[in-house]
């Protein structure tokens, strides 16, 4: 095996054939790398099995009623998570509406030559800092800044527009709106970052062509750039939604933890993640199985959304090439 | 825009027809809309910066007011006690992040080496990449549920290692995906040159790919560390909380509940006592500073060298 | 790479040390979890005890009574604390046997937050039970106005703050409400968690701390919390009408406790005490131990902790808003503690 190399090598060459140790090290190194890759797969499988497996008794006992039920009462062993699913989706969609608008505007603002590079770097850092602040700090801030700030506005909206179902109740501290607002701020950086990448990926020629045809700055943005980057921007929104669905601490601190289904933005609500955070530490065996069932539902929802998001992203990347 | 403006006077002169004023109107309308939209973009960008400024303002005024040496050396106040600090929580956070990193970094980098260098197009790589992407979207509370079932129930106690495992689950995908990206950025010529000299895969990876990609890999590691340091949900029922130091009276209380900054903030934020609330703000300030320092460090390390 | 390897090796070393139980034997650490109701006084005891006694630390986590009992059953703690004692079927699950010891007692108050902070709101029995049934929803309800002619009550909806977690405080409170209002007993019943009316005006917060903080933050709120929390967080609390028809304020529970004799299992309830001066919602709170423990060092520490609580601990109870145990009860507890081996 070594012979052809030795023949080809000059005595003073830096090139050397692999020694026996080199080959041995190489084999074990490659083996270890493969183990690393397998470990990730195993982790995902273990997560699904661990949570799914522990949920099986709950699924057998409560079946689909668990998802459509509206009562959570450990005393009478009636468990239903429809209010929590509703709260999870409602708060996440509200957050997406607000965070999506600001996130995409921010991405346009930063990529479409509105600012000198230095200033746009400042804004970019601001967004990245928003992403770096821990969830629990947002929760604290929400309790002491957001809720007192929106209380008068909520009272006014309820008094004047109370007939509209969105404003049908008064805000009494924690509730859906403060939770959704804070959630919107938390997903804004994700959306802004991914949407920026999507907009930057549009070839310069496309924009130049639009200008060449006499489009104004905004016509070029709204009719050419945004549609060209649409798949990527949509992917950004879906990933933001995925993040909003799984967010735990800020919501557990702000949402009010009340099992009810209401359209009103000012009502207290509940979410799956908050339900888990608050009930898991005290769950007996009967409750662990239903909480594992709830965890499975949460995992399923976030998985579907996140996979959809990453598929969209890879589709968008392929489209640009 | 300029193209339209140039075209306009020519148009108006050559064709003194009723169409001309309408074109002018149209242009004014378009310009007006541009101005409107630009102001809207400015307003929304400034609005989006308000929360950050507000959070930082609250942290600095309310947290800064309480920040002194005592909070780093004292234990949390008991009940209605005044004073106190969160020294043990700071230590606990460090210990658990280190445990998490000790698990996630070696596994993550090995996996990334496989994904980027050894078998990028294999079925295993495709599956592992998909798994890692799926894990990035995993709600952090589920990592806690998992570590509770795997570690807390088997060892029979809340502990720092249990918290570390939960954090490792969250750090792993970040490390894998950023390290893979970093290694893919290493120019192919460099690798080819090494292979051409008869290097083994391992030699190429250890002596060429890893050193070249190291700054970007470190960025990923730092981001993972920053994320883990701020996590609360996975620690709530894995590490729980403790009112004492992890090293207590000369011995290491490793297999017992461990404090962390994030859980302290959560616990104290819900308390009706001003002393605890002040400490919650001060702890938030410290936590945000740690996360920011790590983030900035990742930027400095992460400057590409090639 | 080299430095990374070193870091990884160092980190792995830390984990190994951490997993080595041989290092963890010199100083005894007892861990406990459970009720948030007595948490302030327990934490004060344990911090003081750990300072005075160099051989032990007691680490107590306030999570709610339900969580404490669950930790105890899962054997993730050495002892638990609960305001609702422990269910028979849960006791049956513990092979080592269970010893319940009342360590202190307290009163549950209805804390409220009204504009202008009027003190001494009086609440008749049918009024406060109906507020928690979701039937009285306005502060200017004629029944509240009739009982409080001297307070100007606003036209404000009543926000009821209840516990989000499984709580012994809830158990004691709902036991009392069930005793005084048959409808409450029929629709909600009693327990660590009950199925509260699902309306906009019932919000949930974790632990006594959370309920107190939410009441303090929310105008028009009312919530049930331990007296000490109300006292130290400086929220207003109502005078409640007792069985004898008198309005009573919390703060003199010793007589109420003395009227009840503790049975052999150390569990006694006072869902609706007699006596013209008695405050209506008073309860013991318990620590829960295993009768058989295999670590003698821990057993010794448990006995020291109990003895501290019964002697030094009772001295500070009154000042923190708890009720010191009557001398008879202290003796009974001391005797029962001998069962922990």
Interval A83-110: pLDDT, tens? 999 999 999 999 999 999 999 999 999 9
**Cα separation of A288 and C74, whole Å?**
12
Residue carrying the six token digits 């990529």: A111
How many Cβ atoms sit within 10 Å of the Cβ of residue B217?
A: 26
Q: Which of residues 298-317 of A touch B (CB under 8 A)?
A: 298-299, 302-303, 305-307, 309-310
As a whole number of angstroms, the distance between CA C58 and CA C46 comes to 6
| Predicted pLDDT at B23 | 55
Cα separation, C31 vs A280, whole angstroms: 19
Cα–Cα distances in angstroms (integers) from residue A321 to residues A201, A203, A318, B182, in the given order: 9, 10, 5, 20
Rounded CA Rg of chain B: 27
Q: Which two tokens stand for residue B208?
A: 């060429």
Residues 24-43 of A with CB under 8 A from B: 25-26, 29-30, 32-41, 43
**Which residues 61-90 of chain B have a CB within 8 Å of chain A?**
none
C touches which chains (3+ CB pairs under 8 A)? A, B
- Residue spans of the domains in chain B: they are 92-301
Give me the sign of the Cα torsion angle B49, B51, B57, B60.
Answer: negative
> Which residue in the set C68, C73, C200 is minimally distant from A268, CB to CB?
C200
CB contact under 8 A, C194 and A75: yes
- For residue A168, give the 3-state DSSP assignment: coil
* Mean pLDDT of all residues in A256-284: 85
Terminal CA-CA length for chain B: 39
Q: Is the dihedral of CA C202, C205, C209, C215 positive or negative?
A: negative
What would the two tokens of residue C290 be? 């295993």
B105 CB within 8 Å of a chain C CB = yes
Which residues, in sequence order, are CB contacts of A213 under 8 Å at separation 6+? B3
Query: Which residues on C lie below 8 Å from A264 (Cβ)?
Result: 200
Mutate to test the interface with B, among C12, C57, C60, C320 (most CBs of B within 10 A): C57
User: CA–CA separation, B271 vs B275, rounded Å?
Assistant: 9
Q: Residue B302: its pLDDT value, please?
A: 66
Among the residue ranges A129-133, A216-220, C39-43, C258-262, the one predicted with the least confidence is: C258-262
For residue A117, pLDDT over 70 is answered with yes
Q: How far apart are CA A222 and CA A225, in angstroms?
A: 6
Closest-CA residue to B80 (of C271, C320, A179): C320
Is A44 in the B-facing interface, judged by CB distances under 8 Å? yes
CB contact under 8 A, C27 and B244: no
The first and second tokens of residue B196, run together, are 């051409």
The C-alpha of A278 sits at a distance from chain C's nearest C-alpha, in angstroms, of 6
Place of tokens 């911090």: C47
CB contact under 8 A, C26 and B210: no
Residue C323: phi and psi, rounded to 5, are: -105, 120
Residue in chain A nearest B1 by alpha carbon:
A216
Tokens of A186: 């938390």
Q: Please state, in angstroms and rounded to a whole number, the distance separating the CA atoms of residues C147 and C172.
A: 25
pLDDT of the residue at C17? 42
* Window A:20-59, CB contacts with C under 8 Å: none
Q: Is B248 helix (H, G, I), strand (E, B) or coil?
A: strand
Q: What does the alpha-carbon distance between residue C173 and residue C106 come to, in Å, rounded to a whole number?
A: 12
On whether the B92-301 domain is CATH 1.10.3720.10, my answer is: yes
Alpha-carbon distance B87 to B259, whole Å?
Answer: 9
Q: Where are the domains of chain A?
A: 85-285+299-319
pLDDT in tens for each of the 341 residues of chain C? 444 444 444 444 444 444 444 444 467 888 898 888 888 889 889 888 888 887 888 889 888 888 888 889 888 889 999 888 888 888 888 888 888 888 888 889 999 999 888 888 899 988 999 999 988 989 999 999 999 988 888 888 899 999 887 788 898 999 999 998 999 988 888 888 888 887 878 888 888 888 998 898 888 899 999 898 888 888 999 999 888 888 888 887 777 887 777 787 888 888 888 877 888 888 888 999 988 888 888 888 888 888 898 888 888 888 888 888 888 888 888 888 888 88
Q: Which residues from chain C sit within 8 angstroms of residue B250, using beta carbons?
A: 26-27
* Token pair recorded at residue C16: 């190994």
Give residue C37's pLDDT.
Answer: 86
Looking up tokens 């995992």, which residue turns up?
A299
DSSP character string of C93-120: T-TT-EEEEEEEEEEEEEEE--TT--S-
- The answer to whether C202 faces chain A, any CB pair under 8 Å, is yes
C64: left (phi over 0), alpha (psi -120 to 50) or beta: left
The pLDDT of residue A43 is 95
B175 at the A interface (CB within 8 A)?
A: no
Asked if B134 has any chain A CB less than 8 Å from its own CB, the reply is: yes
Check whether B305 has a pLDDT greater than 70: no
CA-to-CA distance for A251 and A142, rounded, in angstroms?
10
C199: which chain A residues are within 8 Å (Cβ-Cβ)? Answer: 260
Give the nearest chain C residue to B151 (CA atoms): C76
pLDDT recorded at residue B172: 95
Residue from C87, C134, C194, C200 whose CB has the most chain A CBs within 10 Å, to mutate: C200
C186: left (phi over 0), alpha (psi -120 to 50) or beta: alpha
Joined tokens for residue A29: 């190194």
Please check the confidence at residue A185 and state whether its pLDDT lies above 90: yes
Task: Give the distance from residue B37's alpha carbon to the nearest chain A alpha carbon, in angstroms.
Answer: 7
C-alpha B43/C-alpha B55 separation (Å) is: 19
- Residue with the bigger pLDDT between A89 and B10: it is A89
* pTM score, whole prediction: 0.84
Note the CATH architecture for domain C19-105+282-337.
3-Layer(aba) Sandwich (3.40)
Compute the distance between CA of residue A74 and CA of residue A65 in angstroms, rounded to an integer.
15
> Using CA atoms, how far apart are residues A297 and A293, in angstroms rounded to an integer?
6
Tell me, what DSSP letter sits at residue C28? E
Report the mean per-residue pLDDT for chain B. 85
State chain A's mean pLDDT as an integer. Answer: 87
Min Cα distance C209 → chain B (Å) is 5
Q: Which of C1, C15, C26 sits opposite B251 (nearest CB)?
A: C26
CA distance A64 to chain B (A): 22
Could you tell me which residues are beta bridge partners of residue C61? C33
Q: Which of B174, B177, B171, B168 is nearest to B125 (CA)?
A: B177
Query: Could you tell me the pLDDT band of residue B262, with boundaries at 50, 70 and 90?
Result: very high
Per-residue model confidence (pLDDT) at position C324: 87
DSSP state of C320: G
Q: How confident is the model at residue B147 (pLDDT cuts 50, 70, 90)?
A: very high
Contact C14 B95 (CB under 8 A): yes
List B residues 245-274 in contact with A (Cβ-Cβ < 8 A): 262, 265-266, 269-270
- If you ran DSSP here, which 8-state letter would residue B17 be given? S
Chain B residues within an 8 Å CB radius of A134? 229-232, 262, 265, 284, 287-288, 291
Calpha distance C104→C83 (Å, rounded): 10
- Residue B11 sits at the vertex; the CA angle it makes with B6 and B12, to the nearest 5 degrees, is 105
Are the C-beta atoms of residues C37 and C56 closer than 8 Å to each other?
Answer: no
Do C257 and C279 meet the contact criterion of CB atoms below 8 Å apart? no
Check A134 against B291: CB less than 8 A apart: yes
Q: How confident is the model at residue A8 (pLDDT cuts 50, 70, 90)?
A: low
Q: Which residue of C has its CA nearest to B272?
A: C213
* Residues on chain A touching B288 (C-beta within 8 angstroms): 132-134, 137
Query: With an 8 Å Cβ cutoff, are B252 and C24 in contact?
Result: yes
Measured distance CA(C274)–CA(C280) in Å, rounded: 8
pLDDT of residue C14: 44
Percentage of residues in chain A having pLDDT higher than 70: 93
Q: How far is C224 from chain B (nearest CA, A)?
A: 14
pLDDT, average across residues A276-287: 78
* Residue C187 at interface with chain A, using a CB cutoff of 8 Å: no
Size of interface B-C (CB pairs under 8 A): 134
| Residue A172 CB partners (closer than 8 Å, separation 6+) | A266, A268, C157, C159, C200, C201, C203, C218, C220, C221
Q: Which of A164-178, A295-309, B89-103, B268-282 has the highest mean pLDDT?
A: B89-103
Contact B236 A281 (CB under 8 A): yes
Residue C236 three-state SS: strand
Distance separating alpha carbons of residues B63 and B35, to the nearest angstrom: 41
Using CA coordinates, name the residue in chain C closest to B242. C59
Residues in chain C with CB shorter than 8 Å from the CB of A82 are: none
- Output the six-digit token pair for B154: 């088997």
C92 three-class SS: helix
Mean pLDDT, range A39-68, rounded to an integer: 91
CA distance B72 to B287: 12
Q: What interhelical angle do A176-200 and A230-246 show, nearest 10?
A: 150
| Rg (alpha carbons) of chain C, rounded to whole number | 22
Please spell the DSSP secondary structure of A37-94, one letter per residue. Answer: HHHHHHHHHHHHHHHHHHHHHHHHHHTTHHHH---EETTTTEE--HHHHHHHHHHHHH
C34 CB within 8 Å of a chain A CB: no
Taking the CA of residue A66 and the nearest CA in chain C, the distance in Å comes to: 16
For residue range B41-86, list pLDDT tens digits in order.
889 888 888 988 999 999 999 999 989 888 898 888 876 778 889 9
The CA distance from A277 to B141, in Å, is 7
CA C227 to chain CA mean position, Å: 10
Q: At what angle do helices A272-279 and A82-111 cross, to 10 degrees?
A: 120
Does the pLDDT value for residue A2 go beyond 50? Answer: no
Cross-chain CB nearest to A276 (options B7, B40, B145): B145
Q: Classify B30 as helix, strand or coil.
A: helix
Residue B164 near chain C (CB below 8 Å):
yes
Residues 104-123 of A with CB under 8 A from C: none
Count chain A–chain B contacts defined by CB atoms under 8 A.
Answer: 271
pLDDT tens digits along B160-212: 999 999 999 999 999 999 999 999 989 999 999 988 888 888 989 999 999 99
Q: Does C39 touch chain B (CB under 8 A)?
A: yes
- Domain residue ranges in chain C: 19-105+282-337, 107-258
- Would you tell me which residues 110-139 of chain A have a C-beta closer than 8 angstroms to some C-beta of chain B? 114, 123, 126-130, 132-139
Measure CB to CB from residue B257 to each of C4, C24, C31 and give the nearest one.
Answer: C31
With CB atoms and an 8 Å threshold, state whether C17 touches B255: no
Give the nearest partner residue to C70 out of A73, A147, A283, using CB atoms: A283
DSSP states of B142-164 as a string? HHHHHHIIIIIHHHTS--HHHHH
Residue B303 has a pLDDT of 62
- The CATH fold assigned to C107-258 is D-Maltodextrin-Binding Protein; domain 2 (3.40.190)
Lowest-confidence region among A77-81, A254-258, C66-70, C272-276: C272-276
* CATH architecture of the domain with residue range A85-285+299-319: Orthogonal Bundle (1.10)
Q: What angle do CA A98, A101, A106 make, to 5 degrees?
A: 125
Summarize the confidence of residues B272-283 as an average pLDDT.
90
Record: contact A258-C217, CB cut-off 8 A = no
């Amino acid at each position: 095996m070594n012979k052809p190399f030795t023949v080809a090598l000059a005595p003073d060459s830096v090139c050397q054939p692999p020694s026996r140790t080199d080959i041995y090290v190489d084999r074990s190194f490659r083996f270890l790398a493969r183990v690393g890759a397998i470990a990730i797969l195993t982790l995902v499988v273990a997560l699904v099995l661990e949570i799914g497996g522990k949920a099986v008794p709950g699924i057998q006992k409560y079946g689909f009623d668990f998802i459509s039920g509206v009562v959570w009462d450990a005393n009478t062993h009636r468990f239903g998570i429809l209010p929590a699913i509703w709260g999870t989706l409602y708060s996440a969609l509200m957050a997406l509406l607000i965070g999506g608008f600001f996130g995409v505007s921010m991405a346009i603002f930063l990529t479409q030559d509105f600012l000198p590079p230095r200033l746009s770097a400042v804004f970019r850092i601001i967004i990245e800092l928003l992403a770096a602040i821990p969830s629990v700090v947002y929760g604290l801030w929400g309790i002491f800044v957001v809720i007192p700030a929106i209380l008068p506005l909520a009272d006014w909206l309820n008094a004047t527009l109370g007939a509209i179902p969105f404003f049908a109740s008064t805000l009494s501290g924690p509730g859906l709106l403060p939770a959704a607002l804070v959630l919107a701020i938390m997903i804004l950086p994700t959306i802004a970052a991914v949407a920026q990448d999507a907009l930057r990926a549009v070839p310069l020629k496309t924009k130049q062509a639009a200008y060449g045809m006499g489009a104004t700055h905004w016509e070029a943005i709204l009719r050419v750039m945004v549609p060209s980057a649409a798949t990527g921007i949509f992917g950004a929104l879906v990933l933001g939604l995925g993040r909003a669905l799984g967010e735990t601490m800020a919501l557990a601190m702000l949402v009010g933890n009340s099992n009810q289904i209401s359209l009103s933005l000012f009502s207290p609500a509940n979410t799956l993640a908050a339900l888990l955070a608050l009930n898991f530490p005290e769950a007996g065996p009967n409750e662990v199985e239903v909480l594992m069932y709830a965890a499975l539902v949460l995992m399923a929802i976030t998985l579907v959304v996140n996979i959809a998001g990453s598929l969209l992203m890879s589709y968008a990347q392929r489209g640009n090439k | 825009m300029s193209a339209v403006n140039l075209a306009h006077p020519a148009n108006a002169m050559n064709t003194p027809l009723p169409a001309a004023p309408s074109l002018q109107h149209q242009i004014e309308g378009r310009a007006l809309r541009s101005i409107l939209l630009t102001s809207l973009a400015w307003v929304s960008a400034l609005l989006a910066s308000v929360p950050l400024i507000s959070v930082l303002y609250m942290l600095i005024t309310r947290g800064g007011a309480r920040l002194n040496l005592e909070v780093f050396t004292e234990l949390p106040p008991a009940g209605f006690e005044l004073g106190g600090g969160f020294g043990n929580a700071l230590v606990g956070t460090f210990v658990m992040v280190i445990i998490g990193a000790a698990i996630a970094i070696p596994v993550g980098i090995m996996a990334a080496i496989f994904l980027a260098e050894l078998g990028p197009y294999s079925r295993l790589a495709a599956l592992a990449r998909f798994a890692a992407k799926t894990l990035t979207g995993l709600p952090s509370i589920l990592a806690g549920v998992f570590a509770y079932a795997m570690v807390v129930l088997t060892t029979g106690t809340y502990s720092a290692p249990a918290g570390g495992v939960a954090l490792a689950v969250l750090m792993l995908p970040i490390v894998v995906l950023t390290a893979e990206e970093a290694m893919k950025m290493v120019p192919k010529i460099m690798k080819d040159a090494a292979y051409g000299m008869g290097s083994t895969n391992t030699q190429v990876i250890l002596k060429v790919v890893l050193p070249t990609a190291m700054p970007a890999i470190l960025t990923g590691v730092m981001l993972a560390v920053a994320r883990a340091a701020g996590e609360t949900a996975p620690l709530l029922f894995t590490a729980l909380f403790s009112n004492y130091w992890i090293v207590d009276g000369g011995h290491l209380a490793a297999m017992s509940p461990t404090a962390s900054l994030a859980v302290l903030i959560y616990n104290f934020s819900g308390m009706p006592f001003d002393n605890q609330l002040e400490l919650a703000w001060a702890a938030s300030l410290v936590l945000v500073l740690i996360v920011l320092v790590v983030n900035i460090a990742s930027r400095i390390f992460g400057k590409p060298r090639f | 790479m080299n430095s990374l390897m070193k870091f990884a090796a160092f980190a792995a070393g830390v984990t190994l040390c951490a997993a080595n139980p041989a290092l963890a034997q010199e100083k005894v650490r007892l861990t406990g979890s459970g009720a948030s109701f007595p948490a302030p006084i327990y934490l004060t005891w344990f911090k003081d005890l750990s300072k005075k006694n160099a051989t032990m630390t007691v680490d107590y986590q306030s999570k709610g009574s339900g969580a404490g009992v669950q930790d105890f059953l899962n054997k993730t703690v050495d002892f638990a604390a609960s305001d609702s004692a422990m269910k028979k079927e849960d006791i049956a699950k513990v092979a080592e046997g269970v010893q319940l010891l009342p360590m202190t007692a307290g009163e549950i108050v209805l804390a409220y937050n009204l504009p202008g902070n009027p003190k001494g709101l009086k609440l008749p029995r049918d009024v406060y039970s109906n507020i928690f049934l979701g039937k009285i929803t306005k502060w200017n309800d004629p029944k509240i106005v009739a009982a409080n002619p001297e307070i100007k009550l606003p036209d404000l909806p009543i926000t009821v703050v209840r516990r989000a977690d499984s709580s012994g405080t809830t158990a004691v409170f709902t036991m009392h409400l069930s005793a005084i209002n048959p409808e409450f007993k029929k629709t909600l019943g009693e327990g660590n968690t009950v199925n509260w009316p699902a309306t906009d005006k019932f919000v949930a917060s974790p632990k006594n701390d959370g309920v107190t903080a939410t009441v303090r933050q929310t105008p028009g709120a009312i919530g049930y919390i331990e007296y000490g929390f109300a006292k130290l967080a400086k929220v207003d609390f109502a005078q409640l009408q007792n069985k004898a028809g008198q309005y009573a304020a919390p703060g003199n529970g010793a007589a109420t406790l003395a009227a009840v004799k503790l049975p052999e299992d150390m569990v006694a309830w006072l869902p609706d005490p007699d006596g013209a001066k008695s405050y209506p919602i008073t309860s013991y709170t318990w620590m829960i131990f295993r009768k058989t423990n295999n670590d003698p060092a821990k057993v010794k520490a448990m006995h020291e902790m109990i003895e501290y609580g019964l002697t030094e601990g009772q001295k500070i109870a009154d000042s923190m808003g708890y009720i010191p145990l009557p001398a008879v009860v202290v003796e009974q507890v001391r005797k029962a503690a001998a069962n922990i081996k």
